[in-house]
Structure 1
Amino acid sequence: MESGRSSHAGGRVSGAGMTGDSKKDDIVAGVLPGNHRFLEPTKAIKTITDMAIWEKSEAYIEYTGFIATMNEAIKGKPLSVDCKISENLKNLINMLDKIEKLIDAFPPIEQPQRFGNVAFRDWMDKVRSNSTQLMQEAMPPSLHLAIPELKVYLEESFGNSTRIDYGTGHEMAFVMFLCCLFKVTFLQTEDSVPTVFLVFNKYLHIARKLQQTYRMEPAGSHGVWSLDDYQFVPFIWGSSQLIDQPKIYPPGKFLEDDIIEKYSDEYMFISCIKYIKEVKKGPFAEHSNQLWSISAVGSWTKINQGLIKMYKKEVLSKFPVVQHVLFGSLLPIRRFPISH
């Protein structure tokens, strides 16, 4: 029942293109009314009891629906699949390239403590001071009114500059950013596959570079019991890519070095495993117990469904993560309207 609801919500999120062949103006009008007022997103979940509001909110339904919609769009497809890349997508990738290049301008500084290099704060300040301009260059003037709302999600995507840490809440901000780009019709339904494979994957590359360059602490990690210190969504979408792919079957083969070497550029899940093996020492079963357990599951479909459930339980239902979630006009905290 739950997944059915999610995919329906996903249809609303990507309403940009779901309305078929109607004229573009009609589509825009259909998604956001002409008098739509954008809002700078703010935190709304202040106490544990507010969690019930979050789980019934429009933002929650839209967000989980977006994850389900993208999950479906990329099912069984390798990263190298041939897909049309729109001008808007090219602009978005170009924007992320510029953000990544800024890392080189702020090399880590010599400091006594091992974790959390303070040069990250300078990089983050630069991204914040440039974010409006970067988005204006990437988006058409007709959507510039949305930038004050959208850019907050982008800025939150790369980590916390006070604590110099990064975790699933920051990853969530970026997925919300993508979700909002569909809601304002900057991205259309036909952009779904390249949004995951080119834009989200590029973001993942930047997040890893930041983690390593500035030795960022994992935010709110449960250590050995969490799926991964930093990410979660690429395991969901990455496992969907592997559904009905005979090359990595049974799933347990994802732990084999030759499989990792051969397929890490084709499948996000495998690239995540490769990254973990590069940055962590010791037996895989000890430092990544949850992923080790997953390797015993019989099919990628089951792994994919299990990871979506785990994400809702271990990330979206956890107050330490959700207290940082931002709500605006596009992902509102108001209750999702129940249609009869």
Structure 2
Amino acid sequence: MAECVIGDGSKKETPRKTLPPNHRFLQPERAVKNITDMAIWEKSEAYMEYTGFIATLNEAIKGKPLSVDCKISDNVKKLLDMLEKIDRIIDDYPPVEQPQRFGNTAFREWLGRVKHNTTDFLQDALDPTLHVTVPEIKVYLEESFGNATRIDYGTGHEMSFIMFLCCLYKIGMLEADDNVATVFMIFNKYIQIARRLQKTYRMEPAGSHGVWSLDDYQFVPFIWGSSQLVDQPKIYPPAKFLEEDIIDKYADDYMFISCIKYIKEVKKGPFAEHSNQLWSISAVGSWTKINQGLIKMYKKEVLAKFPVVQHVLFGSLLPIKRFPLNH
């Protein structure tokens, strides 16, 4: 693994209070090479950090609409500017004329350009004292938008972006005060880019999708989106999320409803047939139960699946080493 050192600690340490001054950053690598490695992953520091991060942000946004007045720090603004630049690059690579219906090859050109620019983008966004972190964290960002070979996108790419966000907290660029804005502004902007890529380049869903699958592409917006709806009388009982007027009225305020709206735009036919799992969820009596159930389902159907985890990257910030019990 390539590595570099954060410095001698002589500069002010405020942006990196979570890390020791001599911390060694690593080029992230795959570590779950076969099924037996899954047990190492599920006891790893990366697994605990990642699931803890999802739970923390899940709690931070509970009962809040996207329009809530939340703190938007300068660092959040810088990250939004970076995502806006990534979004705009799509304009430079329109789909090409090609015989096959799915997987437009212009996506490869788009992703190549993004990867060419990620170092500069991150250096613009980060405090200069954190530039040493770029070789480690940029890989998570680059893996967030889909696979260039297969021109597909799925929950593993979504996971890579959330790991990228988790790393930004670990290096101290984002802090607890940013939790709501991280979900409502940064993650929400990322989901909008992912949807635009899916539509523009007709990306294939990554991996196999059984009846358990919530959606062809995403999972976490349903978790965080259901947390937003806890104790919200407007969309209660939860079955209301299937009603057209509710979708039209609340898609801009609640991520869960926005996901349903997007599915209805891109899929034809009865909802109960093309999105059976979501149809089943609509019968659950409360958003709290839905939220808890989705977290369990995510751990079982995404984080415990080798086809997803074999692509996960581990470095110094999200290490594969065992989580210390006295942590």
- Match for residue 121 of structure 2? 134
Asked if residue 92 in structure 1 is aligned to residue 79 in structure 2, the reply is: yes
Percent same amino acid at aligned positions?
77
- Match for residue 68 of structure 2? 81
1:60 to 38, 47, 53: 47
Asked if residue 257 in structure 1 is aligned to residue 244 in structure 2, the reply is: yes
Instruction: Report if aligned partners of 2:17, 2:172 keep a CA contact under 8 Å in 1.
Output: no
Distance 1:236 1:40 in 2: 30
Asked if residue 329 in structure 1 is aligned to residue 316 in structure 2, the reply is: yes
5 Å-filtered alignment, 1:37-186, equals 37-186=24-173
SS at match of 1:38: strand
1:286 to 268, 273, 276: 273
1:217 alignment partner AA: E
5 Å-filtered alignment, 1:261-276, equals 261-276=248-263
SS at match of 1:31: coil
Please list every run of at least 4 consecutive aligned residues from structure 1 whose deviation after the TM superposition is greater than 3 angstroms: 24-30
Q: Structure 1's 174 and 125: CA in aligned 2 closer, same or farther, altered over 3 A?
A: same
1:177 alignment partner AA: F
What TM-score do you get using the length of structure 1 for normalisation?
Answer: 0.92
Asked if residue 206 in structure 1 is aligned to residue 193 in structure 2, the reply is: yes
Count of residues in correspondence between the two structures: 317
5 Å-filtered alignment, 1:285-324, equals 285-324=272-311
Instruction: Report if aligned partners of 1:40, 1:148 keep a CA contact under 8 Å in 2.
Output: yes
Asked if residue 246 in structure 1 is aligned to residue 233 in structure 2, the reply is: yes
Query: Alpha-carbon deviation of 1:221?
Result: 3.5
Distance 1:231 1:72 in 2: 20
Distance 1:27 1:90 in 2: 19
1:275 alignment partner AA: Y
2:302 alignment partner AA: V
Query: Alpha-carbon deviation of 1:132?
Result: 0.2
- Match for residue 6 of structure 2? none
Query: Alpha-carbon deviation of 1:28?
Result: 5.3
Distance 1:171 1:86 in 2: 24
Distance 1:202 1:300 in 2: 24
Q: Structure 1's 25 and 189: CA in aligned 2 closer, same or farther, altered over 3 A?
A: farther
Q: Alpha-carbon deviations, 1:303-322, whole Å to 9, x = none? A: 00000000000000000000
Instruction: Report if aligned partners of 2:16, 2:172 keep a CA contact under 8 Å in 1.
Output: no
Alpha-carbon RMSD across the aligned residues, in angstroms, is: 1.2
